[in-house]
Every structure is written in structure tokens, then in C-alpha cells.
Structure 1
Amino acid sequence: MSLFNEKIKLFNLNDLFVVVLFIFLVKILCISLNWSDVDLVCINIVIILFFTFKLRGCFSSFKQDLLKVFTFDSLKLVFLIVILNIFVSYGLLYLSNFILKAFPFIRPLISSSVYINNSALVISGFIATVFISPISEELIFRGVLLNKLRLIVPLSFSIVISSLLFCILHSFGSMTAAFIFAVCMAILYLKTDNVLIPIFAHFLNNLIAEMIVVIDTGNVLFTNDGVMMIISILAIVCGILIFIFIKNQWDSLNINNL
């Protein structure tokens, strides 16, 4: 039994409410002052520091859980989930772009991302997306929220509700992919009982996504018909595989948690 993960499960809902309220108020402040999303890095850093304070005294257990992340079985499962989700997310991005082109009246209803022409801010955004967000989001949505929901609703509902709350933080084109990814992260956490494993998977997923954006300077993935066709086919195949994975794991988790 991991003291680190057990202490996360015992995290007080009032503490979670304070964290969520803090995020909500700061986001309102950022919007009212027209601050960039990069400024929200500070929110996630404060959240991580808050969790660090609450989980103090669990360092030895933390080290043991960290070593379990890099076992063969854990890495195999993490890479499988991440690769499948990457292709599915691009397929869904293509679909969302098609919907926006087919129904242009939808576009004004969807907030678009703002390009930040400042290298320091771009680097800060990269660090926030790849390193900081996975830690804070997994601690909140899987570590705390999923575990608390399990106490009051069936396991299936707790996975769905926590995943829906996670996906609404994302933009139009990535909401469905974020929901699927969140379900996979919930399964990964429940299967391993180690929040560091979904944190690592989340980190790897965001790192690959960001690296693809950096490498694809000519926007080939969204302008070349041949490339788009290949990725679309791979997205369909990966979508089927991830559906099978979720169904099998879902049934197994429900059996084990009757």
C-alpha cells in the first residue's frame, strides 16, 4: 500500500473546493484583464505547491511509486494509451475543422486561441503544457475528484463525471479527445493505484503533441491531403482499438469494484 496515494485519496473535499474556487476566481481575473493563458501557469504552480504541502511526509512512498512508473508493464500500457490517443485526437481535430468549414456560423461561438509572438511566453507555455498542467490536472481530476466521486456514485459514473469536468477545460476541437484521454487516465490510475503513472502518461502525451506542432512548421498535417488521409485512416483504426481497450478495462474495473 502506498502512503502517498492513500493520502491523496483522503484529501478533504473542502480543500479541493478551495483549490477549484481559487482557479475560477483567478481565471475570471485573467479574462477581465485580458491576460494571456500563459499567465495561468501561476495557478497550476500554486496548486502543485498546495498539494506538496498537504502531502508532506510521504517522500519515501513517493520515491517507490515513481520507480513503479518505469517498470516494463507500466511503460507498455502508458505508450499504448498515449500513441492511440495522439492519432485519435488528430482525427477529431480534422473532424472539428470540417464542421467549422461546413457550418461557419458556429465559429463566432467558439473562442479561438491567440498566437503569442514572444519567445519567452512560448517557452513558458510549453513548460506549462508539458510539465506543470499534467501534474496539477491529474492530482485534481484523478487523484482527488475521481476518488471522492467513487464514494457517492458507482465507479462508471465517477469516471464519466470526472472526465466530463476535465474535457470542458479544453477548446472545441479537442473536447472529445480530452474526454477519451481522461477516461483512459482514470482507467490507468484505477488499474495501477498510482497517480504518478497517469501524470507521466499525461506528460508524454502533451510532450509529443507539442513536439509535433514545433516540427510541423509548414502545417503539413492540416494542408497536405495525402498526409491527412493517412492520419485519418490511422485515427479510425486507433479509435477502434482505444474503444476496445476502454471496454475491456471498464468491464474489468467494474467487476473488481462490485
Structure 2
Amino acid sequence: MFLRKEDFNEVKIISCILVYLLMNFGIILAISFVDRSFLNNNSNIIQLIIDCLFIIYLFFKFGINLRNVSNLIHDFLQKINIKEIINVVFTQILISLGTTLLILAIMCVIDLDSANALNNSSDDLFTNTLVSFILTVITAPILEELLFRVVFFKRLSRIFDVYIGMIVSSIIFGMLHVELAVVGAIIFGIANCILYLKYRNILIPMTVHFLNNFLVSIPSLLSSPDSLSNTESELLTKNDAYSYLVLGGITLIIGLILFIKFIIKNRQYIEKDAFDMKTYKFDSLL
């Protein structure tokens, strides 16, 4: 009976949040009883275990099986638009870079020490270990797209409307990302919501997410562990504020122009009641 089922199930937001919190609490508690030093020194491995278990949970709740996955992949191959995917990724990188430079420029003027602390903390988030690469490039796009687009966006859109669902789910998505890239992450979330509405296939925004995270990870992949541990980040100065302000402003404006053009081009797909329209068939294609 399960293998013949072609449609995906809908998953509730509250149950997802509770299960994820319980998984975090249970796994961390279990590891702390066995070996507390492992807990302190292997946070990426622990996070990878939690994320993989949660992805398995989502697969189970959605009712994923070979038949509906095959249909999803077939539909993806027919709809994929490489040019549009590259455009969305390029736009997000420009907006994230622009906002990062502007924030650092403002922080340099207000408090130079805080600017350097913020800059160094963002550098520490990316390492070139295999586990961190898997977390960033593989599990994060799968988990986050399923959670924020298929669960949060879809459920909020049906409870309220697509506009509220898009904005709220993207804000939550953005707030959980790097401090300096919150604005870029929110806009990235909105773009992926639009792609989800347009193509009715989560593999499209998931591919965008894969590519974006891979490009962001390239600098750390090209760096050796020794160079990362031995090389200190160059301290920012007051003079950097002016160059960052100009470069960040130009980059952000270009990114926002591309984003606005993307919205205008795809505005026909952003219907208020899109998830209630039978023609969209979200339940059959995830």
C-alpha cells in the first residue's frame, strides 16, 4: 500500500520543531553521558548526525518512496532552467556581499573592535573539513529546503496566504544564518519560495541552495588546515570603512536590481491562494 502511494504527505510546523528540539536534546544528552570531551570537540559531527536523522524523519513524514521520488526527479529534469538558477545564486551572493561590506563599514565607524570581532567570527564559521563541507553543501540544502519551503512556507501560506508565508518563512530562514548575511539569506529565501511556486518542485530551489553553498565554501576548500590555523585575519581599519561603503553599496544595488527584475519576471506565479489551487498539484510533486 505504501509503495503505491504517489502523493506526498503534508507535515505540520509544530511537530517538526518539537521533533528537531527533542533530537538535539536527546543526542547531546546521550553523548554527554558517554564522552563529554567528544561533545566539546566534535560539534560538526554531532550536528551532522542530528541533521541526517531529522532528514530521515522528514522523508518518513512526507511519505517518500521510490515511485514519488522518481516522478519528482523526472519532473525536475523537464523543468530545470540552468540560466535562472545561476541568476538567483549570483543575485544572492551580490546581496550578501553588499550587505556584509556595508555592515562592516558602519561598524568600523561606530566601534572598530566590534567590527573586527564580527569579521573574525564570520571567518571561523567556515572550515575545510569533510564534515563541515557535507553539512554546508549537502545536508543543509536538503534539510532547510524541506523545512522552510515545504513545511513552513506551505503551511503558513495555507493558514494565511502566500505573501505572509513567503515573508515569515524567509525571515525565520534568514535569522538562522550568519550574522553578516541575514539580509542576503532572507532575500535568498524569498527567491526560493518563488522558484517553488513557479516550478512546483522542491528540487529546483534545492539545486539553487546546493550551488550557492558550494560556491560560498570554495575559499575554505582551497585553504589548507595549517594556513587556517596559523593565519590571523587582517584587522580592519577606519580607512577600510570608506572602501567597504562604496563597494558594498554598488554591489548591493546591483543585487537588488537583479532581484527586483526576478520578482517582476515571475510575479504571475505569486498568487495569494497558490497552494489551494488544484492546478498547482503541490501534494503530488512536493
TM range (shorter): 0.7 to 0.9
Q: Distance in 2 between matches of 1:247 and 1:69?
A: 23
Deviations 1:116-153 (A, max 9, x none): 8986xx22101110001100011111011111111211
Q: Give the secondary structure class of the aligned counterpart of 1:151.
A: helix
> 1:184 aligns to what?
191
Per-residue deviation, 1:27: 10
1:227 CA drift (Å): 11
5+ residue gaps, structure 1: none
Q: State the Cα distance separating 1:212 from its structure 2 match.
A: 4.1
Superimposed CA distance per residue, residues 185-218 of structure 1 (whole angstroms, 9 cap, x where no aligned partner): 1111111111111111101110111114445899
Distance 1:118 1:96, change over 3 A: closer
Based on CA coordinates, which of the two structures has the bigger radius of gyration?
2
Q: Judge conservation of contact 1:96–1:172 (CA < 8 Å) in 2.
A: no
| 1:85 match | 92
- Give the C-alpha shift of residue 28 in structure 1: 8.6
CA contact (8 A) 2:158 2:273 kept: no
Residues 1:27 and 1:160: Cα distance change in structure 2 (over 3 Å): farther
Aligned residue in 2 for 1:67: 74
Contact 1:159-1:183 within 8 A present in 2 as well: yes
Measure, in 2, the Cα distance between the counterparts of 1:112 and 1:168: 16
More divergent stretch after superposition (133-142 vs 13-22): 13-22
Judged with a 3 Å threshold, the aligned counterparts in structure 2 of structure 1 residues 192 and 50 are, in CA distance, closer, same or farther, namely same
Alignment of 1:94-243 (within 5 A): 94-104=101-111, 112-113=121-122, 115=124, 122-215=129-222, 233-243=250-260
CA contact (8 A) 1:27 1:40 kept: no
2:146–2:202 CA contact under 8 A, matched in 1:
yes
Aligned to 1:245: 262
| 2:284 alignment partner in structure 1 | none
CA–CA separation in structure 1 for the residues paired with 2:21 and 2:217? 29
Q: Could you say what secondary structure the match of 1:7 adopts? A: coil
Unaligned runs of 5+ in 2: 278-286
- Provide TM-score, normalisation by structure 2: 0.71
TM-fit CA distance, 1:229: 6.8
Q: Displacement of 1:166 after TM fit?
A: 0.6
Q: Tell me which residue corresponds to 1:18.
A: 18
Give the whole-Å Cα distance in 2 for the aligned partners of 1:155 and 1:118: 37
Structure 1 counterpart of 2:145, one-letter code: E
Residue 89 of structure 1: CA displacement?
1.4
CA contact (8 A) 2:149 2:196 kept: yes
Give, in whole Å, the separation in 2 of the partners of 1:191 and 1:116: 33
Shift of 1:62: 1.1
Q: Is the 8 A contact 1:26 1:43 kept in 2?
A: no
Q: 1:112 to 1:44 in 2, by over 3 A?
A: same
CA gap of 1:161–1:24, structure 2 versus 1, over 3 A, is farther
Instruction: Give the TM-score, by structure 1 length.
Output: 0.78
Query: What is the aligned-residue identity percentage?
Result: 24
Question: Which residue does the alignment assign to 1:7?
Answer: 8
Q: Is the 8 A contact 2:161 2:273 kept in 1?
A: no
Offset of 1:243 from its aligned partner? 2.0
Once residues 191 and 179 of structure 1 are traced to their aligned partners in structure 2, the CA distance between those partners, rounded to angstroms, is: 18
Instruction: Identify if the C-alpha distance between structure 1 residues 51 and 117 changes in structure 2 by more than 3 Å, giving closer, same or farther.
Output: closer
Aligned in 2, Cα 1:233/1:58: closer, same or farther, shift over 3 Å? same
The count of residues paired between Structure 1 and Structure 2 equals 249
How far apart are 1:154 and its partner, in Å?
1.7
Q: Cα gap change, 1:77/1:55 in structure 2, threshold over 3 Å: closer, same or farther?
A: same
The 1:227/1:195 distance shift into structure 2, 3 A limit, reads same
Q: Check the 8 A contact 1:48/1:136 in 2, yes or no.
A: yes
Output the CA distance in 2 between the equivalents of 1:74 and 1:114.
33
